[in-house]
């Protein structure tokens, strides 16, 4: 009995020591200078379609976080291959800078909120994890400034997030942060309501003739993307919409309303931009051998 106990305690201490050494050797290996570590600007260079979608779905919020970027180049033309005119290059540079800023902020929030306490970012070569989460992680994937400190996590209450980018829509993430159980029944993930703020949005009441033809209630409204923090800003946006209408459609302006609404704040936007980036960066594309 005594023998078994001492074998078990030596094995226990051995496992602990091995984990300790591995945790030290691995970070040392990836920072030891054999391969250049990618900067945040480099990992942000490829703008994800989801980042562009955030700008389209949350225009007022995006403008608050990144003033002037949507004017420098419209979201629609960011991903289109329109050739490299000087203007376009300058616009893309502004988008890349905004992307880098969001990724850095999103990573900081991921750390601050303790997301890593329940989520890993490391697919291990055991238990068929690759079937569930995607290809086994390699150290090259962590060889960038966003993974300092590395976000492997300590345990998995929720799923591994190594390849979360593009897996879910931006709206799914927003709904999930507001109330995880609404999109994932029985979830134990906490709500993150401080990623939201109250404001005012524009909505459009449907055309009365359409209401009559379709049987929809005449007061049915459709929201217009973008939530403004003050009623005055929303009223100004309403006026801009009305001024942009051709005269034949002036009556449309009367059906534009300003109503209270809730939206993601810039922290929420940044965190989603970060989640949508995870697993999309190709390490070999930017790392060079010394
Ligand atoms: C108490 C543990 C816990 C914490 C803290 C937590 N999560 Fe989760 N998370 C879960 C669980 C459990 C699930 C699986 C059920 C679900 O989808 O809600 C999950 C699911 C997710 C998913 C969906 C993954 C997928 O594609 O299926 C994402 C994304 C996510 N969490 C992000 C976050 C972020 C970002 C934070 C920090 C702001 C966070 N989580 C904090 C437990 C947690």
User: What percent of the chain has pLDDT above 70?
Assistant: 93
At 13 the pLDDT is 94
pTM for the complete prediction? 0.89
**For residue 286, is pLDDT > 50?**
no
Question: Each residue of 258-283: pLDDT tens digit?
Answer: 999 999 999 999 999 999 999 999 87
At 283 the pLDDT is 78
At 30 the pLDDT is 65
At 25 the pLDDT is 77
Is the C-beta atom of 115 inside 6 A of ligand 1? yes
At 145 the pLDDT is 92
Domains observed in the chain: 43-185+269-281 (1.10.760), 194-265 (no CATH)
> 232 C-alpha to center of ligand 1: Å?
36
At 251 the pLDDT is 84
Is the C-beta atom of 111 inside 6 A of ligand 1? no
Question: Each residue of 232-253: pLDDT tens digit?
Answer: 999 999 999 999 999 888 888 9
User: Higher-confidence residue: 220 or 290?
Assistant: 220
Q: Return the structure tokens found at 269.
A: 């936007």
Distance between CA atoms of residues 290 and 278, nearest Å: 26
Ligand 1, atom nearest to 271 Cα: 35
**For residue 290, is pLDDT > 60?**
no
Task: Determine the Cα angle at 35 with ends 29 and 36, to 5°.
Answer: 115
> 283 C-alpha to center of ligand 1: Å?
25
Which is nearest to 122 in space by CA: 154, 149, 168?
154
Is the C-beta atom of 268 inside 6 A of ligand 1? no
What backbone torsions phi and psi does residue 259 show, to the nearest 5 degrees?
Answer: -135, 155
Question: Each residue of 116-173: pLDDT tens digit?
Answer: 999 999 999 999 999 999 999 988 888 899 998 889 988 899 999 999 999 999 999 9
**For residue 187, is pLDDT > 90?**
yes
Q: Residues with Cβ < 8 Å from 200, sequence gap 6 or more? A: 227, 228, 229, 230, 231, 233, 234, 258, 259, 260, 261
Is the C-beta atom of 92 inside 6 A of ligand 1? no
At 34 the pLDDT is 65
Question: Each residue of 14-45: pLDDT tens digit?
Answer: 998 988 887 777 767 766 666 788 999 999 99
**For residue 176, is pLDDT > 80?**
yes
Mean pLDDT of the chain: 91
Torsion of CA 47, 286, 43, 124, to 10 degrees: 110
Question: Each residue of 50-72: pLDDT tens digit?
Answer: 999 999 999 999 999 999 999 99
Is the C-beta atom of 107 inside 6 A of ligand 1? no
Nearest protein Cα to ligand 1, atom 10: 158
> 189 C-alpha to center of ligand 1: Å?
5
Q: Return the structure tokens found at 6.
A: 């001492």
Nearest protein Cα to ligand 1, atom 14: 158
Tokens 């005269």 locate to: 247
Tokens 């005055």 locate to: 232
Is the C-beta atom of 132 inside 6 A of ligand 1? no
Nearest protein Cα to ligand 1, atom 19: 158
Is the C-beta atom of 134 inside 6 A of ligand 1? no
Q: b/e per residue, 219-253, with b = 16+ CB within 10 A?
A: eeeeebebbbbeeebbeebbeeeeeeeeeeeeeee
At 84 the pLDDT is 65
User: What percent of the chain has pLDDT above 90?
Assistant: 77
Residue of 123, 155, 186, 189 to test ligand 1 pocket, by largest number of atoms within 8 Å of CB: 189
At 37 the pLDDT is 85
């Amino acid at each position: 009995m005594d023998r078994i106990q001492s074998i078990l305690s030596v094995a226990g201490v051995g496992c602990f020591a091995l984990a300790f050494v591995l945790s030290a050797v691995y970070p040392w290996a990836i920072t030891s200078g054999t391969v250049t570590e990618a900067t945040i600007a480099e990992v942000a260079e490829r703008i994800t379609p989801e980042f562009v979608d955030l700008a389209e779905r949350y225009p007022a919020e995006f403008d608050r976080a990144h003033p002037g970027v949507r004017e420098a180049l419209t979201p629609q033309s960011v991903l289109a291959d329109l050739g490299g005119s000087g203007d376009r290059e300058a616009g893309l540079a502004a988008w890349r800078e905004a992307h880098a800023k969001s990724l850095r902020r999103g990573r900081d929030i991921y750390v601050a909120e303790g997301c890593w306490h329940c989520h890993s970012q490391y697919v291990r070569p055991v238990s068929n994890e690759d079937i569930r989460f995607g290809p086994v992680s390699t150290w090259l994937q962590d060889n960038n400034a966003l993974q300092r400190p590395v976000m492997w996590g300590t345990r998995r209450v929720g799923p591994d997030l190594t390849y979360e980018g593009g897996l879910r829509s931006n709206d799914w993430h927003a709904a999930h942060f507001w109330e995880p159980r609404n999109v994932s029944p029985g979830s134990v993930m906490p709500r993150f309501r401080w990623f939201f703020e109250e404001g005012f949005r524009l909505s459009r009441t449907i055309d009365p003739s359409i209401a009559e033809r379709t049987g929809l209630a005449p007061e049915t409204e459709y929201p217009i993307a973008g939530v403004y923090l003050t009623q005055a800003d929303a009223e100004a946006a309403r006026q801009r919409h009305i001024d942009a209408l051709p005269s034949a459609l002036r009556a449309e302006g009367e059906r534009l309303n300003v109503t209270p609404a809730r939206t993601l704040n810039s922290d929420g936007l940044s965190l989603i931009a970060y989640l949508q980036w995870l697993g999309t960066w190709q390490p070999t594309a930017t790392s060079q051998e010394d």
